Amino acid sequence: MKKYVVCGLGPSKLGVGRLVDSLIHLNKLHEFGYEFIYNPTPNLKNKVLEVLLKSSLLEKALRIFHFRYSTLKISFKIRKIKDSKVLIIHPQSLGFNNFFKLIKNNICEIYIVDNSYFCLKSYNQFKNEFNACLRCLSSRTFVEASNCSPYPFPYSRNENIKNLIKWTDESNSISYLVQNQNQASLLMKHFGREVSIKVVGLYTTEFDNHPSMQILNDHEYDIVYHGSILKAKGFLYFCSLIMNLKKFRILIPFSPSIVKEQYKNIDSSIFSSENISFINMTWESGLQQVIEKCKLVVCPSLWSAPIEGAIIKSILHNGCVAIYNAHYSFSNELPENIVVKLGENLDKSAAHIENILLNTENRKILINKSKEWYKNYIIESKNLGKGILSN
């Protein structure tokens, strides 16, 4: 029987892209014999395209065009796949028609990387709330999401709902690989307890690096944000939180222009705060080194997240990490003594952070405990590639 890994997103420096890149490496290393099918990640550095994207109408039109073109292009590759074993990653980026075609003609597993199976926005985080939204869990009407639009791919609302209902109806013909037990619980609440699920964790080859960490006396920053600029990843939550932490040096790894472009109505006083620096950087262009030298890393995803690579890497490269304790999230599964758990109350969360930052002994304990947890986690999860690809 032929074996395929099919994903609408190709290898890249971003979350799903990093996973795909790791699976390609592990497939070659262990000779699992999978063929990979994906659309190459588009190069958005084209200057003409950058100018065009300044117009919101043009941006929407271009994104719709790119999505339709890429799903059509991958459909020609998918058409030949029949009577095979198929691992599907990120089905919404394949196009639902391609997704259902694969399910109909093959033995399929889905590695769940987000909550697109029950949430129109994929990231189940509601406007103006600092918590995870479970309104549409088990829903077949989605009236609970009256203010939500499909994200990140430009389906019409009705089209997206119709396909999510069809996915529910087809759920028993699919096996699910999930990253943590809370994610398994969410799937069972949505699809029913009889659905086939296996918890396999998250592991990418970038977790192989084991730096020798030590408590430093000289820190470039007290607090560093680690995550994407999306609201569901906790960026606005972080911006609100740090307004209560004026005495600490804080780094936001995005330029002011990028933040202003993403959030038109953000409080402008954040840009004039003397203790807050905005520097555009990625993990590869300096963020890793900054994280290794700061006192505390904040990774505040607000959604019912699968395992966040940012959390794992922050524990590996620093050890003193704060998370948002969202219900049903991976963060919620982490022991209290290895991370700083924040919540919706900004004053209490800021006080919690301040207490950690001003107490070197508490930081040492946290770092030692988190490192110990990390070693055990990697021992358990390092075979993820084998667990996915050899099932």
Confirm if 105 and 82 have CB atoms less than 8 A apart. Answer: yes
Nearest 5°: phi and psi at 114? -155, -170
Residues 42, 131, single domain; the answer is: yes
Distance CA 24, CA 18 (A): 10
Residues 251, 169, single domain; the answer is: no
Residues 201, 234, single domain; the answer is: no
pLDDT at 120 over 60: yes
Residues 103, 215, single domain; the answer is: no
Residues 73, 169, single domain; the answer is: yes
Distance CA 6, CA 102 (A): 9
Residues 21, 162, single domain; the answer is: yes
Residues 213, 239, single domain; the answer is: yes
- Find the CATH number of the domain harbouring 17: 3.40.50.2000
User: What value does the mean pLDDT of the chain take?
Assistant: 88
Q: What is the pLDDT of residues 153-209, one digit of tens each?
A: 889 999 999 999 999 999 999 999 998 899 999 999 999 999 999 998 887 777 766
- At residue 243, what is the residue type? M
Residues 22, 153, single domain; the answer is: yes
Total number of domains constituting the chain:
2
What is the model's pTM? 0.89
Residues 77, 103, single domain; the answer is: yes
Q: What is the pLDDT of residues 339-350, one digit of tens each?
A: 999 999 999 999
Residues 42, 159, single domain; the answer is: yes
Full residue range of the structural domain in which residue 329 is found: 209-381
pLDDT range class, residue 82, cuts 50, 70, 90? very high
At 375 the pLDDT is 85
Helices within the chain (DSSP H only): 15-30, 47-52, 56-78, 91-94, 96-105, 157-170, 181-191, 235-241, 256-262, 288-293, 309-317, 330-333, 346-357, 360-381, 384-389
pLDDT at 97 over 70: yes
Identify the CA nearest to 132 among candidates 113, 119, 147: 119
Residues 232, 155, single domain; the answer is: no
pLDDT range class, residue 296, cuts 50, 70, 90? very high
Order of strands, edge to edge, in the sheet holding 196-199?
35-38, 3-7, 85-89, 107-111, 174-178, 196-199
DSSP for 112-167 reads --SSTTT-TTSS-B-TT-SSB--TTTT-SS-GGGTT----SS---HHHHHHHHHHH
Residues 251, 373, single domain; the answer is: yes
Per-residue pLDDT, averaged over 326-355, amounts to 93
pLDDT at 323 over 50: yes
